[in-house]
Structure 1
């Protein structure tokens, strides 16, 4: 069963990619969707079996690498954490595949697109089933490759090509730290096998690493290097700049990246390595600080964006911040619970935005929308459900998981926990505000599109609405269905030993916080909705007046805190300037001049001078022969005398 779940998407990717010309557009779509659907359905009994039944197991596929004492097998490690990820990834991916049938119906490269989607899913499944760090890195890099292919899928657009390269390069920064972390772990533990590392970790807790003349705490250094990789993949502040630009890819790609693959890889990795992170308070505090800061940073930026997909993209960045500060305070089950619920409502929001874009003739700017809810009522209802879940209002899935994260941060009773709680609470206020800003600007008010666009607004086809409906079920019921198992009374039986917790359990503390802490997220979410209504429905002139009153703050948020501009000045322009110097002065001026250009110039000179000897007069050639004969005779005579 496990092998089928992991490798059916790879089979679909190979068949659609290599034989798409013979399968055709419809054949490629049916094949890849069918294989993903089977994989998703198989993940349901697997989750029940591992979480509530016989427990974890490992499937060894083959011996992979043998170099000296370094031995690595290709094996599938299946515990509760893996089973949750398999369920989440395959379920979301299957629905995105089905949605793509309608959304990409007019694209000329459908087989290639479906192949890339399935390949993306396979690499994510390979990452979450890895039982060693080498195999995890294989899936990790495969996810990066697939994201590059999908973000730049429309390669005729320069902006898509630039976004794909940006995603690839920014992730290389984080991946360099991840590689150093893996290398450091192998050198320290003499193994890349996860269970071996975890068993030996407590004995290594007090050891130091001598590096650059300094003695650094070993476990903390290794964890921070691993977390640097997580920051890149999961778009945490500083390495987040690729995520909004990734919207250049088709909308199904955005949904898959933001809901189930790529950005969740970093969260999963930190949770998987929790036995190491639990041994370093400094590493956990760093994770919590970065996560909480990302949550508030991305929420502020989302409040001023006008592209409907970029608003949701920054929302993803903010929600990932929640997951990371949950990990940082030791609330690993809450982080994974939010990862699962977030996957449903975030995929639904992105695909709902795709339905809006489809109806609006590819328009993405919310300033050119408005007054369309009567034309696309199903999409309108879907966006409401997704926004209610994202804002964390009761009954909806986001309420159960996000509130548990905030309560766990408060229950941690630490300085970093308090920081995370208040940053998370502020981000919850802004989340509700920008979610309803999106709804009001997109669906309400006077129509701002031209008459031609308004005349063609229509609801999406059924093949796009059915996946949205199924995601809506998850966005409503996933929280209440999974609460007891993930973070409730049954959590110890459900998670077993998949997640490590050393010391006080913040989840247990979360169940005993005061009523004020429990009610605060809901109250501030309602306040955020009220403010959005006042600004964009009751008093639509207020946003412009506020921006005029605070022009510096508005420009800061509109320009995304100037991260891109800062990186342009600090890294990109100097890199290009250095490249031009090396090209002009080094490559052309020295290497080419002394190398191939110099050799060719010398050859031309010799040939030119030799050609002058070819005069065509016989007496010139006879004279040259006589001179040559005289030279040989002279040399011979001198040689005989010597």
Structure 2
């Protein structure tokens, strides 16, 4: 039965996309939304069914199906084949269920857009490509899904193509991710040629059995890491994701929560046995993840566009996942991927509803006081913000982030035989990132919903948009209780689900480690309230009610300290950002000059070689043939 259901799982959104595209715009808004939601809904039901079938079997069971042979050459073969194991099971559940909620929301959000049929055609194709990526049992088949995700992101980011800024953002995303795609293809081909098979199971078995040299493993892992960094918008490839906010809000939610950005995390988790054998690449992954989570958090702290704040937040949170992958706790990375899908989809969809009712105003300083006009959306956004900040015990984000912090604290990097490095500095920086996360997201909450009233609000949030928001609220609050630290009531259902043989557990975890992860987000929340959440009318009254002794003036000066500190911090951040941009511009300018010089010199050399003299051509051919024969004899 599974051999029939797995291809059908991918076929449902693909068929919905083809139906919508073939209609060539003749299908109305309601029809396109119905077809798209039906295709994703059936895929979600099928994903639940195949997951039950997988879990009802023995431990370690895998469901495999080969659709058709693709490449068969001497000693090499590649097939279009799918596999369902526990890692891909988690991913298809996230992609289909969260994707369904986003599609239902989009049916209400995009109902007045004249290009709604094209929008839903691209969205359903996006989900189909992501399902191909996570279900593939063959590296080349996985690359097809990888490229399909990149193509759909280009189409959706530039959906409103009449605006040149949107098409520029789409091209930027396409170019940056193509760099990573080339590197990924190099890494996949290195593995396939070194092991003689592109099948993921065969590749990992050959790597663990020592059939591939250490240098080959490190080189392949490095190339695959580059591809994952570009697709997941990690340093130094992070620049494309904030500009991707040019697309419709449901597109942003799908890219950030359930599909493209998480593809790099899934790829490294799928090939974690390969990366374990490449310790320097693992350490590099952890360092880049840590750097990214801090860069993303600092950038979000100085943004004024609501969607760009959430975009930089995604970069930061995916940095946590890469940190966990680099530390070898890939179960924690996938757990945070799941909870992040819940609360980031919730935040983007809630932000989209706010922007729609605020007449497409996205500047947080032009919004304000929305808790009175939008009480339901206020609660929704606060729930998402609390989960993102990781407020203790009551949000899913706390449990997944705590799982990462605990894993990072216990890790040790064996870079060489005699050189071992502890993960404590990375843990400290990740804890700082948790503080900054609470600070920037509650800055947004206090300014937008509790600040001084700004733009005029109109309309109501439709029921089609409200139901997905309510479902995501429940998941953002309760979706993390399946994995709890040992200092609380010990529960490790998620890690046991992924790896029943060795569930992730830290029985010797000190209590203060969990307390630190709980207190730091609360401290960020408290500082955000001091800087942006205090009632301004009360403070103005305190400044004007001074008595003869001047005590109120002294009080007001003390109460102005957080404001001045915030202004100073913002000025320092802007100065640092300007310096970084200047250094980067100078580096790119130097790189452009050197590449131009190299290109011109290479062109002159080619001109000298291609001089039209046949005897020179014959000499080059003879010389190359002699070199090839010499290499063949010596090898």
TM normalised by structure 1 equals 0.82
8 Å Cα contact 2:194/2:212 also seen in 1: no
How far off is 1:18 after superposition?
Answer: 1.4
CA shift digits 1:275-308 (9 cap, x unpaired): 1111121121111111111111111111111101
CA shift digits 1:385-411 (9 cap, x unpaired): 101111112121111111111011112
Q: 1:536 aligns with which of 511, 516, 532?
A: 532
8 Å Cα contact 1:119/1:146 also seen in 2: yes
CA shift digits 1:8-49 (9 cap, x unpaired): 111111111111433322111101111101111221232333
8 Å Cα contact 2:64/2:83 also seen in 1: yes
Q: Counterparts of 1:388 and 1:374 in 2: how far apart (Å)?
A: 20
CA 1:51 to 1:437, structure 2 compared with 1: closer, same or farther past 3 Å?
farther
Q: Are 1:508 and 2:505 an aligned pair?
A: yes
In structure 1, what is the equivalent of residue 332 of structure 2?
334
Mapping 1:564-575, distance limit 5 Å = 568-571=585-588
Show structure 2 runs of 5+ residues with no match. 414-420, 537-559, 608-635
Q: Counterparts of 2:316 and 2:142 in 1: how far apart (Å)?
A: 25
In structure 2, what is the equivalent of residue 523 of structure 1?
519
8 Å Cα contact 1:96/1:256 also seen in 2: yes
Mapping 1:204-603, distance limit 5 Å = 204=210, 207-208=213-214, 217-393=215-391, 394-413=393-412, 415=421, 417-449=423-455, 454=456, 456-481=457-482, 488-490=491-493, 494-496=497-499, 507-509=504-506, 511-538=507-534, 545-546=564-565, 549=568, 553-556=572-575, 562-563=580-581, 568-571=585-588
Q: How many residues align?
A: 561
How far off is 1:220 after superposition?
Answer: 1.4
Q: Are 1:71 and 2:77 an aligned pair?
A: yes
Q: Counterparts of 2:286 and 2:599 in 1: how far apart (Å)?
A: 42
CA RMSD between the two structures: 2.6
8 Å Cα contact 2:492/2:505 also seen in 1: no
Q: Counterparts of 1:141 and 1:388 in 2: how far apart (Å)?
A: 34
Partner secondary structure for residue 65 of structure 1: strand
Q: Are 1:22 and 2:26 an aligned pair?
A: yes
Q: Are 1:151 and 2:157 an aligned pair?
A: yes
CA 1:581 to 1:271, structure 2 compared with 1: closer, same or farther past 3 Å?
closer
In structure 1, what is the equivalent of residue 44 of structure 2?
40
8 Å Cα contact 1:104/1:110 also seen in 2: yes
CA 1:344 to 1:60, structure 2 compared with 1: closer, same or farther past 3 Å?
same
Q: Counterparts of 2:411 and 2:353 in 1: how far apart (Å)?
A: 41
How far off is 1:578 after superposition?
Answer: 8.1
Higher relative contact order (CA 8 A, sep 6+): 1
CA 1:549 to 1:342, structure 2 compared with 1: closer, same or farther past 3 Å?
closer
Partner secondary structure for residue 348 of structure 2: helix
CA shift digits 1:203-224 (9 cap, x unpaired): 337725xxxxxxxx22112111
Q: Counterparts of 1:296 and 1:567 in 2: how far apart (Å)?
A: 18
Partner secondary structure for residue 77 of structure 2: strand
8 Å Cα contact 1:375/1:458 also seen in 2: no
Q: Are 1:130 and 2:131 an aligned pair?
A: no
8 Å Cα contact 2:531/2:563 also seen in 1: no
Q: Counterparts of 1:105 and 1:570 in 2: how far apart (Å)?
A: 46
CA 1:29 to 1:441, structure 2 compared with 1: closer, same or farther past 3 Å?
same
Q: Counterparts of 1:446 and 1:549 in 2: how far apart (Å)?
A: 22
8 Å Cα contact 2:9/2:46 also seen in 1: yes
Mapping 1:627-642, distance limit 5 Å = none
8 Å Cα contact 2:139/2:198 also seen in 1: yes
In structure 2, what is the equivalent of residue 609 of structure 1?
none
Q: Counterparts of 1:493 and 1:516 in 2: how far apart (Å)?
A: 25
CA 1:348 to 1:558, structure 2 compared with 1: closer, same or farther past 3 Å?
farther
8 Å Cα contact 2:483/2:494 also seen in 1: no
Q: Counterparts of 1:44 and 1:405 in 2: how far apart (Å)?
A: 27
TM normalised by structure 2 equals 0.83
In structure 1, what is the equivalent of residue 627 of structure 2?
none
How far off is 1:168 after superposition?
Answer: 0.7
Show structure 1 runs of 5+ residues with no match. 209-216, 591-642
